[in-house]
Amino acid sequence: MEYRILEEAVASVRKVTDFRPEVAVILGSGLGGYANKISSMIPIDYDEIAHFPTSTVPGHEGYLIFGQVGTIKVVLMQGRVHYYEGYTPDQVVMPIRVMNMLGAKKLIITNAAGGINWGFVPGDLMLIRDHICMVPSPLIGKNMDELGPRFPDMSDIYSAKLRDLVKLQARKKDIDLKEGVYIQVSGPQYETPSEIRMYRSWGADAVGMSTAVEAIAARHMGMRTIGLSLITNLACGMTTRELSHAEVEQTGRESAARFETLLTATIKAIGGSER
Protein backbone atom coordinates (compact mmCIF):
# COMPACT_ATOMS: atom_id res chain seq x y z
CA MET A 1 0.00 0.00 0.00
CA GLU A 2 1.27 3.47 -0.84
CA TYR A 3 1.22 6.34 1.64
CA ARG A 4 -0.79 8.30 -0.93
CA ILE A 5 -3.72 5.91 -0.41
CA LEU A 6 -3.77 6.67 3.31
CA GLU A 7 -3.68 10.41 2.57
CA GLU A 8 -6.66 10.05 0.23
CA ALA A 9 -8.61 8.17 2.91
CA VAL A 10 -7.85 10.89 5.46
CA ALA A 11 -8.95 13.53 2.96
CA SER A 12 -12.29 11.71 2.56
CA VAL A 13 -12.89 11.93 6.29
CA ARG A 14 -11.81 15.57 6.43
CA LYS A 15 -14.53 16.44 3.89
CA VAL A 16 -17.04 15.40 6.56
CA THR A 17 -15.37 16.50 9.80
CA ASP A 18 -12.22 18.13 11.15
CA PHE A 19 -12.63 16.25 14.45
CA ARG A 20 -9.25 15.26 15.95
CA PRO A 21 -9.57 12.21 18.24
CA GLU A 22 -7.25 11.47 21.13
CA VAL A 23 -8.10 7.78 21.49
CA ALA A 24 -9.01 5.20 18.83
CA VAL A 25 -11.14 2.17 19.72
CA ILE A 26 -11.78 -1.00 17.71
CA LEU A 27 -15.05 -2.67 18.73
CA GLY A 28 -14.95 -6.46 18.37
CA SER A 29 -17.63 -9.04 17.53
CA GLY A 30 -20.89 -8.41 19.39
CA LEU A 31 -19.56 -5.20 20.96
CA GLY A 32 -20.57 -2.67 18.30
CA GLY A 33 -23.50 -1.39 20.37
CA TYR A 34 -21.09 0.63 22.50
CA ALA A 35 -20.80 3.14 19.67
CA ASN A 36 -24.38 4.24 20.35
CA LYS A 37 -23.47 5.32 23.87
CA ILE A 38 -20.96 8.04 23.02
CA SER A 39 -21.97 11.71 22.80
CA SER A 40 -21.82 14.12 19.83
CA MET A 41 -21.72 11.25 17.34
CA ILE A 42 -20.45 11.81 13.80
CA PRO A 43 -20.77 8.51 11.88
CA ILE A 44 -19.08 7.93 8.53
CA ASP A 45 -19.87 4.82 6.51
CA TYR A 46 -16.75 2.89 5.50
CA ASP A 47 -18.03 3.01 1.91
CA GLU A 48 -17.68 6.80 1.98
CA ILE A 49 -13.95 6.66 2.82
CA ALA A 50 -11.57 6.30 -0.13
CA HIS A 51 -9.93 2.83 -0.36
CA PHE A 52 -11.34 1.81 3.05
CA PRO A 53 -11.91 -1.95 3.50
CA THR A 54 -15.44 -3.06 4.44
CA SER A 55 -16.48 -5.94 6.67
CA THR A 56 -18.44 -8.96 5.45
CA VAL A 57 -18.98 -10.48 8.92
CA PRO A 58 -22.25 -10.34 10.95
CA GLY A 59 -21.84 -8.10 14.01
CA HIS A 60 -19.41 -5.72 12.28
CA GLU A 61 -21.57 -2.83 11.07
CA GLY A 62 -19.00 -0.75 9.18
CA TYR A 63 -18.89 2.81 10.54
CA LEU A 64 -16.11 5.10 11.68
CA ILE A 65 -17.70 7.05 14.52
CA PHE A 66 -16.35 10.25 16.06
CA GLY A 67 -17.55 11.60 19.40
CA GLN A 68 -16.75 11.92 23.09
CA VAL A 69 -16.60 9.69 26.14
CA GLY A 70 -16.76 12.18 28.97
CA THR A 71 -14.25 14.82 27.93
CA ILE A 72 -12.13 12.43 25.84
CA LYS A 73 -12.37 12.75 22.06
CA VAL A 74 -12.59 9.32 20.46
CA VAL A 75 -12.90 7.60 17.10
CA LEU A 76 -14.47 4.14 17.11
CA MET A 77 -14.42 1.42 14.50
CA GLN A 78 -17.88 -0.11 14.62
CA GLY A 79 -16.80 -3.24 12.80
CA ARG A 80 -13.38 -4.39 11.63
CA VAL A 81 -12.07 -6.43 8.72
CA HIS A 82 -10.15 -9.68 9.03
CA TYR A 83 -7.41 -11.53 7.19
CA TYR A 84 -9.77 -14.47 6.57
CA GLU A 85 -12.13 -12.24 4.56
CA GLY A 86 -9.52 -12.17 1.83
CA TYR A 87 -7.83 -8.91 2.77
CA THR A 88 -4.07 -8.65 3.04
CA PRO A 89 -2.66 -7.79 6.50
CA ASP A 90 -1.71 -4.42 5.00
CA GLN A 91 -5.37 -3.76 4.12
CA VAL A 92 -6.57 -5.04 7.50
CA VAL A 93 -4.54 -2.41 9.36
CA MET A 94 -5.35 0.49 7.04
CA PRO A 95 -8.07 1.82 9.41
CA ILE A 96 -5.58 1.94 12.31
CA ARG A 97 -3.17 3.95 10.20
CA VAL A 98 -5.92 6.33 9.13
CA MET A 99 -7.12 6.87 12.71
CA ASN A 100 -3.56 7.68 13.76
CA MET A 101 -3.19 10.17 10.91
CA LEU A 102 -6.47 11.76 12.01
CA GLY A 103 -4.92 12.47 15.42
CA ALA A 104 -5.31 9.39 17.65
CA LYS A 105 -2.12 8.55 19.57
CA LYS A 106 -3.59 5.81 21.79
CA LEU A 107 -5.45 2.69 20.69
CA ILE A 108 -7.81 0.33 22.50
CA ILE A 109 -8.34 -2.95 20.66
CA THR A 110 -11.22 -5.16 21.74
CA ASN A 111 -12.10 -8.62 20.50
CA ALA A 112 -14.13 -11.72 21.14
CA ALA A 113 -11.82 -14.64 21.91
CA GLY A 114 -11.85 -18.30 22.77
CA GLY A 115 -10.46 -19.19 26.18
CA ILE A 116 -7.42 -21.50 26.15
CA ASN A 117 -6.48 -21.05 29.80
CA TRP A 118 -8.28 -23.69 31.88
CA GLY A 119 -9.01 -21.02 34.49
CA PHE A 120 -11.17 -18.98 32.11
CA VAL A 121 -14.94 -19.19 31.66
CA PRO A 122 -17.21 -17.57 29.04
CA GLY A 123 -17.89 -13.96 30.02
CA ASP A 124 -14.43 -13.34 31.48
CA LEU A 125 -12.56 -10.19 30.46
CA MET A 126 -8.86 -10.50 29.69
CA LEU A 127 -6.32 -7.70 29.47
CA ILE A 128 -3.79 -8.62 26.78
CA ARG A 129 -0.25 -8.64 28.14
CA ASP A 130 1.42 -9.88 24.95
CA HIS A 131 0.56 -11.73 21.75
CA ILE A 132 1.63 -14.47 19.36
CA CYS A 133 0.92 -13.71 15.70
CA MET A 134 0.24 -16.64 13.37
CA VAL A 135 -0.55 -14.57 10.27
CA PRO A 136 1.83 -12.55 8.05
CA SER A 137 3.05 -9.22 9.39
CA PRO A 138 1.30 -6.09 8.08
CA LEU A 139 4.75 -4.52 7.77
CA ILE A 140 5.91 -6.87 5.00
CA GLY A 141 6.87 -5.00 1.86
CA LYS A 142 8.31 -1.55 1.34
CA ASN A 143 8.40 0.34 4.63
CA MET A 144 6.32 3.50 4.89
CA ASP A 145 8.99 5.74 6.42
CA GLU A 146 6.32 8.40 7.00
CA LEU A 147 4.72 6.06 9.56
CA GLY A 148 7.58 4.42 11.38
CA PRO A 149 10.94 2.58 11.26
CA ARG A 150 11.76 -0.47 9.14
CA PHE A 151 12.40 -2.64 12.22
CA PRO A 152 10.13 -1.50 15.10
CA ASP A 153 10.63 -2.84 18.61
CA MET A 154 7.78 -5.01 19.98
CA SER A 155 8.90 -5.47 23.59
CA ASP A 156 6.11 -3.28 25.04
CA ILE A 157 3.49 -3.61 22.32
CA TYR A 158 0.66 -3.50 24.90
CA SER A 159 1.82 -0.62 27.09
CA ALA A 160 2.67 -1.80 30.61
CA LYS A 161 1.96 1.66 32.04
CA LEU A 162 -1.45 1.84 30.39
CA ARG A 163 -2.23 -1.71 31.51
CA ASP A 164 -1.66 -0.61 35.09
CA LEU A 165 -4.26 2.12 34.59
CA VAL A 166 -6.77 -0.40 33.23
CA LYS A 167 -6.21 -2.78 36.14
CA LEU A 168 -6.77 0.10 38.55
CA GLN A 169 -10.06 0.97 36.87
CA ALA A 170 -11.17 -2.67 37.01
CA ARG A 171 -10.53 -2.75 40.77
CA LYS A 172 -12.45 0.50 41.25
CA LYS A 173 -15.41 -0.91 39.32
CA ASP A 174 -15.18 -4.29 41.07
CA ILE A 175 -14.68 -6.05 37.73
CA ASP A 176 -12.74 -9.30 37.68
CA LEU A 177 -10.06 -8.77 35.02
CA LYS A 178 -7.83 -11.59 33.87
CA GLU A 179 -4.51 -10.94 32.13
CA GLY A 180 -2.82 -13.09 29.53
CA VAL A 181 -1.34 -13.78 26.12
CA TYR A 182 -3.51 -13.63 22.99
CA ILE A 183 -2.76 -15.61 19.85
CA GLN A 184 -4.06 -14.52 16.44
CA VAL A 185 -4.74 -17.28 13.92
CA SER A 186 -5.97 -16.90 10.37
CA GLY A 187 -9.40 -18.55 10.55
CA PRO A 188 -12.13 -18.58 9.44
CA GLN A 189 -12.41 -22.16 10.67
CA TYR A 190 -12.18 -22.67 14.40
CA GLU A 191 -9.09 -24.39 15.72
CA THR A 192 -8.72 -28.14 16.23
CA PRO A 193 -8.25 -29.63 19.70
CA SER A 194 -4.63 -30.45 18.81
CA GLU A 195 -3.96 -26.87 17.75
CA ILE A 196 -5.40 -25.58 21.01
CA ARG A 197 -3.19 -27.93 23.04
CA MET A 198 -0.18 -26.64 21.08
CA TYR A 199 -1.10 -22.99 21.59
CA ARG A 200 -1.57 -23.59 25.33
CA SER A 201 1.89 -25.18 25.50
CA TRP A 202 3.28 -22.01 23.88
CA GLY A 203 1.80 -19.90 26.68
CA ALA A 204 -1.33 -18.58 24.96
CA ASP A 205 -4.36 -17.90 27.15
CA ALA A 206 -6.88 -16.87 24.48
CA VAL A 207 -7.26 -17.25 20.73
CA GLY A 208 -8.92 -15.17 18.03
CA MET A 209 -8.74 -14.03 14.42
CA SER A 210 -7.81 -10.36 14.82
CA THR A 211 -5.88 -7.88 17.00
CA ALA A 212 -2.20 -8.87 16.70
CA VAL A 213 -1.68 -7.36 13.25
CA GLU A 214 -3.53 -4.21 14.37
CA ALA A 215 -1.29 -3.89 17.42
CA ILE A 216 1.82 -4.37 15.28
CA ALA A 217 0.75 -1.55 12.95
CA ALA A 218 -0.05 0.70 15.90
CA ARG A 219 3.34 0.03 17.50
CA HIS A 220 5.05 0.76 14.19
CA MET A 221 3.48 4.24 14.28
CA GLY A 222 4.34 4.86 17.91
CA MET A 223 0.79 4.49 19.23
CA ARG A 224 0.34 3.26 22.80
CA THR A 225 -1.97 0.28 22.78
CA ILE A 226 -4.31 -1.59 25.12
CA GLY A 227 -5.95 -4.92 24.22
CA LEU A 228 -9.11 -6.27 25.86
CA SER A 229 -10.57 -9.69 25.07
CA LEU A 230 -14.05 -10.87 25.96
CA ILE A 231 -13.85 -14.63 26.44
CA THR A 232 -16.99 -15.71 24.60
CA ASN A 233 -16.41 -19.48 24.64
CA LEU A 234 -13.93 -22.13 25.66
CA ALA A 235 -11.72 -23.20 22.76
CA CYS A 236 -12.14 -26.40 20.81
CA GLY A 237 -11.57 -29.60 22.77
CA MET A 238 -12.19 -27.98 26.15
CA THR A 239 -15.92 -28.77 26.07
CA THR A 240 -18.13 -31.16 24.12
CA ARG A 241 -20.05 -28.25 22.52
CA GLU A 242 -19.52 -27.31 18.89
CA LEU A 243 -18.29 -23.74 18.38
CA SER A 244 -20.40 -21.16 16.53
CA HIS A 245 -20.34 -17.46 15.73
CA ALA A 246 -23.85 -17.21 17.19
CA GLU A 247 -22.44 -18.20 20.60
CA VAL A 248 -19.79 -15.49 20.25
CA GLU A 249 -22.41 -12.83 19.57
CA GLN A 250 -24.72 -14.05 22.36
CA THR A 251 -21.98 -13.96 24.99
CA GLY A 252 -21.06 -10.49 23.74
CA ARG A 253 -24.60 -9.26 24.31
CA GLU A 254 -24.85 -10.90 27.74
CA SER A 255 -21.55 -9.37 28.88
CA ALA A 256 -22.04 -5.99 27.22
CA ALA A 257 -22.88 -3.96 30.33
CA ARG A 258 -19.81 -5.07 32.31
CA PHE A 259 -17.55 -4.75 29.29
CA GLU A 260 -18.85 -1.28 28.44
CA THR A 261 -18.33 -0.13 32.02
CA LEU A 262 -14.67 -1.15 31.87
CA LEU A 263 -14.22 0.29 28.37
CA THR A 264 -15.63 3.67 29.40
CA ALA A 265 -13.39 3.80 32.47
CA THR A 266 -10.40 2.75 30.35
CA ILE A 267 -10.99 5.46 27.74
CA LYS A 268 -11.25 8.14 30.41
CA ALA A 269 -8.17 6.89 32.25
CA ILE A 270 -5.79 6.49 29.32
CA GLY A 271 -7.20 9.47 27.45
CA GLY A 272 -6.38 11.69 30.40
CA SER A 273 -2.93 10.16 30.93
CA GLU A 274 0.25 11.61 29.50
CA ARG A 275 2.25 8.46 30.19
pLDDT tens digits, 99-135:
999 999 999 999 999 999 999 999 999 999 999 999 9
177, pLDDT greater than 60 = yes
Binning the chain into helix, strand and coil, the percentages to the nearest 5 are: 35, 25, 40
Q: Which residues contact 7 (CB under 8 A, 6 or more apart)?
A: 101
pLDDT at 59: 57
17, pLDDT greater than 80 = yes
251, pLDDT greater than 80 = no
Query: What's the rounded Cα separation, in Å, for the pair 251 and 200?
Result: 23
Give how many domains the chain has, as a whole number: 1
Query: What's the rounded Cα separation, in Å, for the pair 64 and 242?
Result: 33
Q: Which sequence positions are flagged as catalytic?
A: 29, 60, 82, 84-85, 112, 209-210, 233, 245
Q: Which of 75-79, 116-120, 252-256 has the lowest mean pLDDT?
A: 252-256
| Domain, as residue range, for 142 | 3-271
pLDDT tens digits, 229-244:
999 988 888 877 777 7
Q: How far is CA 5 from CA 8, 14, 75, 152, 237, in A?
A: 5, 14, 20, 22, 43
- Using a pLDDT cut of 70, give the percent of the chain over it: 96
